[in-house]
Structure 1
Amino acid sequence: MFLIFVLILGGNLLWPSESIMFSQGKYRAAVVEFDALPEPFLFPHEVMLNNAEQYLKLIERASEKRVDIIVFPEDGLTTLDVAKKTPQKLANYSIEVPDPAIYPNPRINESYNKVLRMLSFAAHEHHMYIVINLIEKFKDIGFTFYYNTDVVFDRNGVIVVRYRKINLVNDPKLHPGKELAKFRTDFGVTFGIFTCNDILYRRPAVDIVQDKNLTDIILPSAWYSETPFIQSLSIQAGYARATGVNLLAAGLNYPPMYGGSGIYLHDGRIAELYISPSKSSKLIIQDVPKSRVKLSAIKCNNNSHPTPRFRLGGHLNEGMLNTPHEDMSLHTLHPLNFHDLETKVKLCNYNGEYCCRFRVVLQERPAFHDPKYMLALFYGVRTFGDTTIGVRSCGLIACLNKDKSTCGMRNHTSRSETIFKQISIRGNFDHGYNDNFDMPITLTYEQLPLTEYTYCETLTDDKKAVLAEMRSTQPLTNLMSFGIFGRMYVYDGRNPGIITNGVHSTLSNNVLVVCTLIMILLVRKNV
C-alpha cells in the first residue's frame, strides 16, 4: 500500500501561447521528482543514458503542456552517492561541460558527451529551457577536478549556465564551486540557481537574492530529510517565504530519507507539492506568476493563504513515511499546559541572547492517546551530514509521549487530533547579513508544510536586531512542527553542542547546571 501526496492550487521566437503568457505576467514551469534507475548490473554510461532517456520522455510530456522551463533533480542522471565511489568509477560517471561563455551548443557539435547532445536536441526540439544536474569533469594544467554541477540549456539547446555546487556535504571526492549563477530567460524572468543543501548557506542562498532583478530560484536537490526542522518540503517552503521568491524545487526520489518537490510562489502560496513514501517519478506543471518585487519577510510579508485540498493517489498508508528524526537531547524543552488550554512562556538560551515568546491556545483538551507537544529551543551547533552547522531554532514540536527523547519523531499509527486554536512565536534575534538567516518552518503528519500563518521580520532602528513573529491564522491540527529555524553561519564547522556566553559546550542542560553547582561549592569550601 502506497501513499502519494500532490498539493494543487486551484533570442528566440515566442510561440503564440508564450506571447500570451508573457503579456499576462506568468510562465509555465515543470519540476520533476525523479526515481533514478538503480546502478547494479549496468555500466556507468548505461545508467546515465537510461536516465537521460527517461528525461526525454518527461520533456516530451511537458512539451505537450507548452512548458517554458523544466527542472530535474540533483543526482538524477548518476544516481545517489556517486561522489563517494572510487576515483575510477567517479571518472566514469563524469562529463566534461563546456564554458557557457563560448555559447556551446552540443546539438551541433559531435565532440560533446552524448548525454549533453541528447538534452540539447530536446531543448531545441521542444523549445524549452532544461535544467539538469551531473558530475562534471574539469581538467586544468595536468589536474582533474570533479564538481557537482547544474547545467541549463536554453530553447536553442545552448548551454547558458554551468553552476558548481558550493557547499558539499558527504561528497569527499568532489571540489567545491565558488561562483554564483543566474540567467535571464526570453520570457522576462531572471533566475538564480543552486543545489540541495546550498539552501542552508549564506553563499549562495542569501547572497544571490540580494540582486534586486532576481525573482526566481531553481533548486535541484537530493535532500536528506529529518524531522522536525529540516524536512525537505518544509525547508523549501520556508526559504521561499523568507526571501519572497518563486522557487522551483526538483527532488530525487529515494524514500524515506530523500524526496520532496514543489513549486512555491513569491507571495506565500504553494502551487503544488509532491512527496511519496514509495519510489516513483512525478511531473509537476504549474503556471508561475512573475514577481516584480520580492516580498521578503524583512519587508513584513504577512500573506496567509489556505492550504489547498490534497489529491491522494494509490492506497493510503501514512505509516510508510518513516522520515529520520533529529536528536533533540540538547534542546531546551517545555511541556504545554493541557489543563488550562493556554501556555504562555518565554524560553531563552543561557545568556539571553536568543529568546522566543510562545503563546499556544488549545481549542479543547486533547485525547489521551494523542501525541504530546513540547516547546523547543536550541542555540548551538548540530551535525549536518559529514559537517556541522550553527543553528538557532524555536518552535512547537510533536512527541510520541511524555518522554522527551521521542520529540521530533513521527507517530506511524495515528494522526494527532489536537486542535490548536492559536499559535504565536515572537523573538528578538541578533541580526547580521553575514551571520544569520531565519525562516518559518511548518510540518504536518503527512510531511507537508502549511500556509495558514503569517511570518514577519522587522529590523530595529539600529539594525542590530530583528523582531520576528510567526502567527497561525486559523485553527490547526495534525501538526508535527511550527516554528522558526535559523542559521548562524559563524559557528559552522565547530563541534556539535550548545553555545553559552560565547563558549561552545557539548554538554546537556542538566549536566551544565550540575557542573556549575559543583564549582560553586568547591569555591565556597576553599574560602
Structure 2
Amino acid sequence: MGCSPTHFSAIVFILSVLKAYASDSYIAAVYEHSVILSEETNLPVSPEDALELMNKNMDVLEIAVKAAAQQGAHIIVTPEDGIYGWVFTRETIYPYLEDVPDPQVNWIPCTDPERFGPAPVQKRLSCMARSNSIYVVANIGDKKPCNSSDPKCPEDGRYQYNTDVVFDSEGKLVARYHKYNLFITETYFNYPEPEYVTFNTSFGNFGVFTCADILFHDPAVVLASKLQVDTVLFPTAWGNTLPLLSAIQFHSAWAMGMRVNFLSANTRNSSVDMTGSGIYGPNGPIAYHYNTETENGQLLIAQLNSRPHLSPTYPPAVNWSSYATSIKHFSPTDQDFTAVIYYDLFTFMELTKIEGNHTVCQKDLCCHLSYRMAEKQEDEVYVLGAFDGLHIVEGEYYLQICTLLKCKSTDLKTCGQPVATAQTRFEAFSLSGTFDTSYVFPEVLLSGVQLAPGEFQILSDGRLISQNGTSKPVLTVALFGRWYEKDPPHPQQASP
C-alpha cells in the first residue's frame, strides 16, 4: 500500500520529532577498573609480553563495554592507565605504545588494522565499539618519531604521549587527545602542544581531557567555557587526597562549577588510594561510586541531558563574590590559628558553639560562615578555614579556598589532615567568600566520603547553603577557587 503525500509528510514529521526527542537525552556509562599491573615496570618487556598484559585488561574492559551496551548506553568511559598501569621509564613504557593517527584520516581499525602499522590495541578497542554499537573512550600511549631537525626531539628520537582515544559506534577513531598537564611521576611521557579536542554526536557535543588537566585552565576551562561542550569525558587515575581533593568530591564540584556533564572513570587500587568514579551533571551528581573495601571494578550507568545548557533546570551563572563582599565581617579574628591542608598553610578558626556567624581571612580572601549544628559533639572539632596562595607540591597552581571541615582529632594541629568519618550533623550552613576569580567549585562531602546530591544549593550571589540539614554528618564543605591568571607558566618546554 502506497503513501499519499499528506501521509508521507506526517510520517516524516513524526520520525523527526521522535529523533529530536531521542537525542534530548542519552545513557552514559563509566567503568572503574581494577587494573592488572605489570610485576616489574623498571625492566623492558617484549612487545608480545606487553600486548599479553594489555589484553588481560582489555578482556575485563570488554565485559564492561558489553554490559553497558546491553543496558542501552550510548558511550562508555574507561580509566587513565586502564590498559597497562603506571610508573614506567621511557624505555619500559615503549613496548606498550602505538602510533595513534589524527582522526581526520577517517579510520576504522577494526576493519583495516594495519593501515598505520601494527595497532592491536586500537583494533581491539575499535571492534569493542563496533560490535556493541557504542562509543568507547580509552586511555593508551601514543608514539611519534622525530629527528634532529626538530630542536625539541628527545634524545631517543621519539615523542611519547599519554593519550585518550574515542571510537564511535561504528568503530571509527573520532578523537585523539594528548594529555597536557602531566603528573609529576609521568616522566616517561612528553608534554604536547596544547590541544582542545571535541567531537559532535547526535546526543551532544563532547570534549575530552585527562586526570590532572582538571586542575588547570588549558584545556579544561577552554572546553567548558569557550567551546561550550555539553559533556566532558574524563579518564583518570586519581589518588584521593582528603579533605578537599577526593575524586568524587572534586570532580562533581567541577561539573557544578563549570555547569557541564562530566563522565569520570577512575582506576581502583588501594595501594595508591585510587577509587571514585561518577556521572555528574551541572546540578550535581547523578551516579557515583566510592569503594575502599574491595578491589572490584564497578560499572555506573545513568541518563543525562544531551544539551544541559538548553534545559529549563540549567543553573544560572554565579557571581562568587557578590554576597561576601556586600556584608561586614561576622566576628573578630583574634582566635585564628594556622594548620596545613595538602602542604598549604590555611588560616583557621574553631567553631566553639552549636551555632554562630564567623569570618576568617587570609590575604585578600575573607570567608564567611553561618551555621547551626544539631548538637555539639564533645569529641569533634570543626573549623572555618581560608587559603589564598600558590600551591607548589605535585603541580603549581593558585588557589583561593573557603572551607568548613572536621578536624582529625580535638588537637587543633590535626585540622586539615585526612578524616573519613564524622558524627556531627549540621541543621544549616551558609558559606561564601570574597573571591578574586570567577572559577569556584562547590564541594559538600559527608561521613563515609559520600556526596550530598540535592542537599545543598548554590545561590547566584555566591553562597553555598543548606537549609534543611544533610542526610549524614558533615566532613567538608568548601568553595574551591582557582585563580588561573596567577599560575606560573606551563612546563611544556621541559625536556624528558
5 Å-filtered alignment, 1:41-80, equals: 43-80=49-86
Evaluate the alpha carbon distance shift between residue 179 and residue 410 of structure 1 in structure 2; reply closer, same or farther with a 3 A threshold. closer
- 2:94 maps to 91
Contact 1:408 1:480 (C-alpha < 8 Å) held by counterparts: no
Contact 2:279 2:286 in 1 (8 A): yes
In structure 2, what is the equivalent of residue 365 of structure 1? 376
Q: Which amino acid aligns with 1:29?
A: A
From 334, 349, 357, the counterpart of 2:362: 349
Task: Please tell me whether residue 32 in structure 1 is matched to residue 31 in structure 2.
Answer: yes
SS of residue paired to 2:434: strand
Q: Distance in 2 between matches of 1:332 and 1:290?
A: 42
Hey, what's the Cα distance between the residues in 2 that align with 1:96 and 1:274? 33
CA distance in 2, matches of 1:124, 1:78: 22
For the pair 1:375 / 2:384, whether they are aligned, the reply is: yes
The SS at the match of 2:252 is helix
State the distance in 2 between where 1:63 and 1:23 align.
Answer: 16
Q: Give per-residue Cα distances to partners, 1:358-400, cap 9 Å, x unaligned.
A: 112122232x23x211111111122442x32211111111112
Separation in 2, partners of 1:475, 1:168 = 39
Distance 1:24 1:93, change over 3 A: closer
Deviation digits for residues 317-337 of structure 1, max 9, x if unmatched?
Answer: xxxxxxxx9446711110002
Partner of 1:102: 105
Q: CA RMSD in A?
A: 2.4
Q: So what's the TM-score if we normalise by structure 2?
A: 0.81
Preserved CA contact (<8 Å) 2:374 2:425: yes
Cα deviation digits, residues 223-246 of structure 1 (max 9, x gap): 122111111111111011111111
Structure 2 counterpart of 1:283: 299
Do 2:35 and 2:82's aligned partners in 1 also have CA atoms closer than 8 Å? yes
Q: How far off its partner does 1:180 sit?
A: 0.6
* 1:107 counterpart SS class: coil
Write the letter of the residue equivalent to 2:456. Y
TM-score (norm 1): 0.76
* d(CA) in 2 for partners of 1:69, 1:24: 13
Indicate the residue corresponding to 2:243 in structure 1: 228
Q: Distance in 2 between matches of 1:357 and 1:217?
A: 32
For residues 411 and 198 of structure 1, what CA distance do their matches in structure 2 show? 26
Higher strand share: 1
The question of whether the paired residues in 1 share the 8 Å contact of 2:358 and 2:368 is answered with: yes
Partner SS state of residue 309, structure 2: coil
State whether residues 430 and 464 of structure 2, in contact with CA within 8 Å, keep that contact through their aligned partners in structure 1: yes
Counterpart CA distance in 2 for 1:46 and 1:475 is 52
% identity of equivalent residues: 26
Letter matched to residue 166 of structure 2: V
Partner residue in 2 for 1:162: 176
Asked if structure 2 preserves the Cα contact closer than 8 Å seen for 1:38 and 1:79, the reply is yes
Are 2:197 and 1:184 equivalent residues in the alignment? no
Choose between structure 1 and 2 for higher RCO, CA contacts under 8 A separated by at least 6 residues. 1
Mapped contact 2:216–2:397 kept (Cα < 8 A) = no
- Which structure 2 residues correspond to residues 55-454 of structure 1 after superposition, within 5 A? 55-81=61-87, 85-111=88-114, 112-141=118-147, 143-170=157-184, 171-177=186-192, 178-185=194-201, 187-211=202-226, 214-255=229-270, 257-266=273-282, 268-277=283-292, 278-293=294-309, 295=314, 298-299=317-318, 326-327=341-342, 330-338=345-353, 341-350=354-363, 353-366=364-377, 368-369=378-379, 371-385=380-394, 387-411=395-419, 415-431=421-437, 437-451=439-453, 452-454=455-457
CA drift of 1:29 comes to 1.0
Q: Deviations over 1:224-275 (max 9, x none)?
A: 2211111111111101111111111100111262121000123x13221111
In the alignment, is the contact (CA less than 8 A) between 2:27 and 2:301 conserved in 1? yes
Q: Is the 8 A contact 2:255 2:284 kept in 1?
A: no
On the 8 A contact 1:345/1:358 being kept in 2, the answer is: yes
CA separation of 1:384/1:445 partners in 2, compared to 1, >3 Å: closer, same or farther? farther
Q: Using a 3 Å threshold, how does the CA distance of structure 1 residues 489 and 300 change in structure 2: closer, same or farther?
A: closer
Query: In structure 2, how many angstroms separate the alpha carbons of the residues matched to 1:46 and 1:258?
Result: 24
Cα contact 1:33–1:261 (8 A) shared by 2: yes
C-alpha distance in 2, partners of 1:21/1:220? 29
Deviations 1:133-177 (A, max 9, x none): 011111234631011110000111110100111111121231223
Return closer, same or farther for 1:46/1:260 CA change in 2, 3 Å cut-off.
Answer: same
Q: Distance in 2 between matches of 1:440 and 1:384?
A: 22
TM-aligned CA distance change 1:437 to 1:269, over 3 Å: closer
How much has 1:420 moved relative to structure 2? Answer: 1.0
* Secondary structure of the structure 1 residue equivalent to 2:110: helix
Q: Say if 1:298 and 1:456, in contact at 8 Å, map to a contact too.
A: no
Change in Cα spacing, 1:409 to 1:299, as seen in structure 2 (3 Å) is closer
Contact 1:392 1:485 (C-alpha < 8 Å) held by counterparts:
yes
Matched length: 428
Q: 1:288 corresponds to which letter in structure 2?
A: L
Q: Return the letter of the residue paired with 1:356.
A: C
* Counterpart in the other structure of 1:305: none
1:483 aligned residue: 478
Q: Distance in 2 between the 1:153 and 1:329 partners?
A: 41
Q: Is the 8 A contact 2:240 2:246 kept in 1?
A: yes
> Do the aligned partners of residues 438 and 473 (structure 1) sit closer, same or farther apart at CA in structure 2, a change above 3 Å counting?
same
Residues 398 and 409 in structure 1, CA contact (< 8 A), matched pair in contact too: no
- Counterpart CA distance in 1 for 2:302 and 2:402 is 33
- Residues 202 and 115 (structure 1), Cα distance of their counterparts in 2 relative to 1, 3 Å cut: same
Gaps spanning 5+ residues in structure 1: where?
A: 1-15, 302-324, 459-467, 495-527
Superposition deviation, residue 411 in structure 1:
4.7
Q: How far 1:201 moved relative to its partner?
A: 0.7
Counterpart in the other structure of 1:473: 467
Which residue matches 1:518? none
CA distance in 1, matches of 2:254, 2:409: 31
Q: Distance in 1 between matches of 2:280 and 2:308?
A: 16
Structure 2 Cα separation of the partners of residues 192 and 327 of structure 1: 29
How many angstroms apart in 2 are the aligned matches of 1:405 and 1:103?
A: 58
